[in-house]
Structure 1
């Protein structure tokens, strides 16, 4: 009867041990942010449309899942447990299938993403000319965005600010009168380009980063599936 390959066995153990450590780091960091006072201040300092703890709860779930899979893989490899290896294989396969389903959905709705973004931005334009609490929070975020990316307004430039332009114009103003990308508006030299182009650029960039990370994870997961099944079969034929 064929024996268990030591190379595959210990490679599987090292791979899953690192996998388990990553799960601990993610879970520990997420729990620290969730319960620590400093972490809560970091969360509450951002502009969140929904509960600021949603992303942290997702990280806790991801970290826990990675830890469990890493533990099953490590123990299954060292103890040569077919049951643990099978559970590891099934868990990893389910995650891979979920990623593939998410990728298919993402590709299916990609053509609608720009339309949805345009509609969302167009709906938010009216907040720039309002004075309510929600409008002021949005205006504060946009002022910071304008100063950083040298743009003004969302869709129609400085005109999007309406009657609120004068009190929010500082982040729109050009530092130099020789800049050809600037125009005069209500007596102030401001950036001509609206911020929607930069928002689209950021969304596209982040989308590519997510695709790259997902592709890298798929390669790692497929290797994990192959190693676990080879080890599973070798243990069975020992």
Structure 2
């Protein structure tokens, strides 16, 4: 039996929430794919000794975004069909995802400096190894990173044996530009704000989703018991 009165509004709010949750999952997946395929970071994924902490975090975001999209779709079905089983499963999955998001947020904040340091260390090692060996693979890795970040070397000057890996510039910029360690710091600072904002928004949406799902589930069960 369909729920009525004000609880009917909860049903449609639940459906609207799940649609927003599906969109939120799409946003998480989009941010993760942006980190994975952005020109400024794709070079990190193409090297054999890339920083594992950063790579692991990006792949976790990809999986989490895809899972959120699936759960949001299932939640829409549970709301429309007024199925206590689907609504209960939705609540459990949402609680697990919420707990995982909180844990991931704490982990990310506590390891932010380590992630940035690992990436800078990876770049510095690649840069120094190329100066010593001139290996083509190392040259291509440096070009991907430096062209993506629009930086050059560890000091921002091009008077060394790796100038051929730096972006070509004109005027005084051809001699002095942003160092890559500084560019890496700037990149992570700007993207962390975006990721943090998305995470907070998704957390608020999930809290309301759990409340609505339990209200609707209880209303459906109560209506069936009356009959």
Computed over aligned residues only, the root mean square deviation of the Cα atoms, in angstroms, reads 3.8
Within 5 Å, which residues of 2 pair with 1:18-167? 19=21, 47=43, 48-49=45-46, 59=62, 62-63=65-66, 65-129=67-131, 130-145=133-148, 149=150, 151-155=151-155, 157-159=157-159, 161-162=160-161, 164-165=162-163
Contact persistence 1:72–1:87 (CA under 8 A)? no
Higher RCO structure (Cα 8 Å, ≥6 apart): 2
**In the TM superposition, what whole-angstrom CA distance separates every residue of 1:8-56 from its partner, at most 9, and x where no partner exists?**
11121233245557879999x9xxxxxxxxxxxx99xx543369xx979
Q: CA deviation at 1:109?
A: 1.9
Indicate the residue corresponding to 1:213 in structure 2: 198
Indicate the residue corresponding to 2:211 in structure 1: 226
Structure 2 length normalisation: TM-score? 0.70
Cα separation, partners in 2 of 1:89 and 1:135, compared to 1, 3 Å: same
Q: CA deviation at 1:114?
A: 4.1
Please give the alpha-carbon distance, in whole angstroms, between the structure 1 residues aligned to 2:136 and 2:165. Answer: 19
Within 5 Å, which residues of 2 pair with 1:167-186? 168=164, 171=167, 173=169, 175-176=170-171, 179=172
Please give the alpha-carbon distance, in whole angstroms, between the structure 2 residues aligned to 1:213 and 1:26. Answer: 7
Please give the alpha-carbon distance, in whole angstroms, between the structure 2 residues aligned to 1:131 and 1:118. Answer: 20
How many pairs align? 202
Structure 1 length normalisation: TM-score? 0.67
Structure 1's consecutive aligned runs of 4 or more residues displaced over 4 angstroms after TM superposition are 17-27, 54-61
